[in-house]
Chains A and B, each alone.
Chain A
């Protein structure tokens, strides 16, 4: 077994063991922290499909996170106010059921990704970066202006949504649900890497001219990757909203989009567990450094600068040695 595989197993074991320990020793805050890390990991795993395999530097992935969050917020808001979402041409009621909310979050974030992808994937390089960033800001301002759903203040959901057979109000049960979804996304990512689509997408990043010359269209490959990527990040957004029982325009903020990329780089690019390692490290630093200094972002910025300038492999690179780099 390679050192990277051992590292992945250790991370996974830690993600199972730590919250269980916290649960037994009655430390719900630790579980909440771990849940946050797992959900952010899921969002970054989604981004990594576009960025790591497809080479698409999307600086607007918070859009999908926000769409997923608002899908949850809107459905749950209508359920808790007993007002139907729409009455014409057919009645749509709100819901407090997680599976339904997840489905809606995935479908809508995929649709938004399709729209943004159709426009932004016509370009590449810096244009793509700036355009995804700009569309992210568009959704941010739209959410602020959308006073029916809280506008700038966002909206609170009083009770966490339910999942059949579980009590999601128990932190460790909700955590388990999130962890299962993260593992499913990682498994899908691993299968994807070995599949025809993974092969073609990976080649489209390295040698698009070759991909065209064998009769494949890089644009379609990238578009599908972008849609899948957006859908997974959207699912994470729905979970994040449920964790906080609150949605607001900050879920669309460009800082969040930047942080998703940071998770991937700090963890290690082109590594299956890179986003997970990065998100866990970020949440841990946020907690511990944030406790030490109000200005911990300075130290985090310096760390990030150091990783980008000097340590190309990220955390996994340091621990597991050089793998396939992204250049």
Chain B
């Protein structure tokens, strides 16, 4: 076990966490502003990945693929907001769960219909392929490093949007008091559609970026969706800062746990048993983290006190 390995795994954890943040930020914004729990957020992640893979395959350009992912996911988000989601804002959470569950079925099967059941592959762009040499002799894939940078830039942009712009003022007002933004003369319908499409675009971007290091397939969104939920529970619903901290915690726990827990158990167990126990425990590590946060602070690290 070397320091280089540890540094690599920490970078992997950061990369995973920052992609989770893109998902969790949209979910937590949508919940904070509109009070909506959106299970179909994972579908938007999938839509982004498929748009990117299809366009990149047709044009040979990864950059065009990314543009397509952003546009496609935002358009899909705006569409379902206009047709379905806006009927759910004043419904109870049960109805929201069911309707967005129905959307998952429609999106997943619809994608299977169009693209078939086989996974698509999205190649890492040549300019970002291969390893890069970091200080202390660490060799790290350039693409993954780029994901961390892109994620951080997007996160910074999001914080800027919310803290410094007119639309950010409206979003913050909407989180506190719906009637107030109406009184401010804001067009709530348009604001809600914008926030939903923004969240969708972030999810689509994450799907496309991750799609290049995993396969692009139907059902890829839901495991990420559930991890994003864990992230939000840990960070606190409605808090972008909580989503960022939660995402990094989940990303690091998941990545470091799966590498180091089996090693840890090997210190005092037979190797085979240690691998088994370590694997089982690391598959549960983030949920145990979530449970501990719940015991300590039921509303999450940055959530409003109930």
Contacts and interface: CB of A to CB of B under 8 A. Distances in A.
Partners in one complex: yes
Interface of A: 51, 57, 59, 119-120, 122-127, 129-131, 133-135, 137-138, 141-142, 144-148, 254, 258, 261-262, 265, 269, 295-298, 300-302, 304-305, 308-309, 326-327
B187 interface: no
A142 B280 contact: yes
B106 A298 contact: yes
Contacts of B279: 145
B31 interface: yes
A103 to B, nearest CB: 26
Contacts, number: 123
Chain A interface secondary structure, helix, strand, loop or mixed?
helix
B223 interface: yes
Given A57-B93, A134-B230, A119 B99 contact: no
Query: Sorted from nearest, which 10 A-B pairs have the closest CB atoms?
Result: A301-B105, A138-B287, A141-B283, A301-B106, A304-B102, A130-B229, A297-B109, A305-B102, A301-B102, A298-B109
A308 to B, nearest CB: 5
A134 to B, nearest CB: 5
B157 interface: no
B37 A126 contact: yes
Given A130-B229, A305-B106, 15 more contacts: A125-B93, A127-B237, A129-B97, A130-B233, A134-B229, A135-B287, A137-B287, A141-B283, A142-B284, A145-B276, A145-B279, A297-B106, A301-B102, A304-B105, A309-B99
B142 interface: no
B8 interface: no
A295 B287 contact: no
A146 B280 CA distance: 7
Interface residues on B, range: 35 or more
A59 B280 contact: no
Given A138-B284, A301-B109, A261 B98 contact: yes
A244 to B, nearest CB: 21
B280 A57 contact: no
Given A127-B299, A147-B276, A298-B113, A305 B103 contact: yes
B244 to A, nearest CB: 18
Interface string B91-114: 011110111011111101110110
B105 A145 contact: no
Contacts of A133: 226, 229
A145 B226 contact: no
A138 B98 CA distance: 22
